[in-house]
Amino acid sequence: MDGGAVAARRLTVVQLLPALEGGGVERGTLEVAAELVRLGHRSIVLSSGGRMVDALQAGGSEHYSWPVGAKSPLSLRLVPRLRRWLREEGVDIVHARSRMPAWIAYLAWHGMAPAHRPRFLTTMHGAHSVNRYSRIMTRGERVIAVSEFIRQHILENYPDTAPEKITVIHRGVDPSAFPFGYQAPERWRQAWFQTYPQLQGKLVITLPGRLTRLKGHHDFIDLIESLAAGGIPVAGLIVGGEDPRRRAYAEEIRQRARALGGELVTFTGQRSDLREIYSVSNLVVSVSRKAESFGRTVAEALSLGVPVLGYDHGGVGEILGAVFPRGRVPLDDIQGLVRAARAILSDEIEMSPLERFHLQDMLDATLRVYEGMTMQNSGVSDGE
């Protein structure tokens, strides 16, 4: 199914997730919802609500405020209510994107007559802790894995999952939102350098991500310190807000940066203009200590034509391996980071437009799963 196709029949699709406050899972939910509406389907989202609800509804989807994400046994009281609601609304597809909503949806679905129930699928967005609670994400009749890394996580940790029911659908970037060769407007650039004059005339190396230990800020500062000591005129830029639960760590990182002196590392806090920030960066870095399930910031920067350096594990390693192999560095190899950064910054690198990991590819593949499931007989499968 391509981006211009018209649906053969109208589907009613329900996506379930805890809330719509913001984040990668939420963004993907809205993207799929908008595509469903564009193709003439009925799109419904069940969540506890949040600041993204207005955008969801403005795109033509329906939202029902249900506390499906509350991690409490009391949430299971929603099961009979959801079962009735699925029958009343004539739902064709139930798509669960998080663990607690998946438990509620699965139990409601499993209790329906197989011949008359909707199809049930899950998307595993991350490498959750391995236990019975997380196993629910493998119980869909079909399971979408957001990267080959997540597919392997499922097969290694839940070996009773049939490999043929897992479909890898990488998350995607909209090239119209992150166009190749994009240059920030002059007005934005003037305001930016007025705010951060220390970046003017420097080779800017950017680390996007919240101030949490998993994002590898110490490795990033090691990289900047080594490059500067080697005479390279670099400026490190950390773009991301504080996690209120990790304030001690945020202060630890700031103190370490201050100890370098000379405004070598700059903190911007949370920003909504990452596209513009990428465009004035010479290099974007991903040094997460824990493997990312996909690595959207890596794909966004590469879509603009900005080189990316990252640890070769998880989704980040997959993206770099497919698009920019010279940006891959083994996990924990600080000297490898320094060597690779020095080579990238000193070379005239000819970047190419991103030919993979496009948003429309993700949408088309997801709709193919939906339509393929509805063309099959439900039979008596319970998702095992």
What is the set of domains in the chain, with CATH numbers? 12-172+359-374 (3.40.50.2000), 186-346 (3.40.50.2000)
pLDDT at residue 8 in the model: 65
Question: From the centroid of its chain, how far is CA 295?
Answer: 6
Highest mean predicted confidence (pLDDT) among 8-12, 241-245, 246-250, 284-288? 284-288
What is the residue whose two structure tokens read 């030919």?
Answer: 355
| pLDDT one-digit tens code per residue, 312-324 | 999 999 999 999 9
Tokens of 3: 């981006």
pLDDT in tens, 28-84: 999 999 999 999 999 999 999 999 999 999 999 999 999 999 888 888 899 999 999
Check if the beta carbon of residue 286 is closer than 8 Å to that of residue 295.
Answer: yes
Return the DSSP state at 333. -
pLDDT at res. 156: 97
**Residue 351: what residue type?**
M
**Run of H or E including 93:** strand 93-96
The stretches of 59-147 forming alpha helices (DSSP H) are 78-89, 99-110, 132-135
pLDDT of amino acid 322:
95
The yes-or-no verdict on residue 195 having pLDDT over 70 is yes
User: What are the pLDDT digits (tens) for 81-130?
Assistant: 999 999 999 999 999 999 999 999 999 999 999 989 999 999 999 999 99
pLDDT (0 to 100) of residue 22: 80
**Average pLDDT along the chain:** 93
Structure tokens given for 241 = 């807000």
Reported as a pLDDT band with limits 50, 70 and 90, residue 6 is: very low
Q: What are phi and psi of 46, to 5 degrees?
A: -110, 125
Pick the closest to residue 121 from 166, 63, 155, 154 (CA basis). 166
Both tokens of 19, joined, read: 């809330």
Taking each helix axis from N to C terminus, what angle separates 148-157 and 314-323, rounded to the nearest 10 degrees?
Answer: 140
First to last CA, the chain: 28
pLDDT tens sequence across 233-259:
999 999 998 877 888 999 999 999 999
Q: What is the pLDDT of residues 211-232, one digit of tens each?
A: 888 899 999 999 999 999 999 9
70: closest CA among 44, 92, 31, 100? 100
Strand spans (E) along 246-313: 265-269, 283-286, 308-311
In the predicted model, is pLDDT for residue 151 greater than 60?
Answer: yes
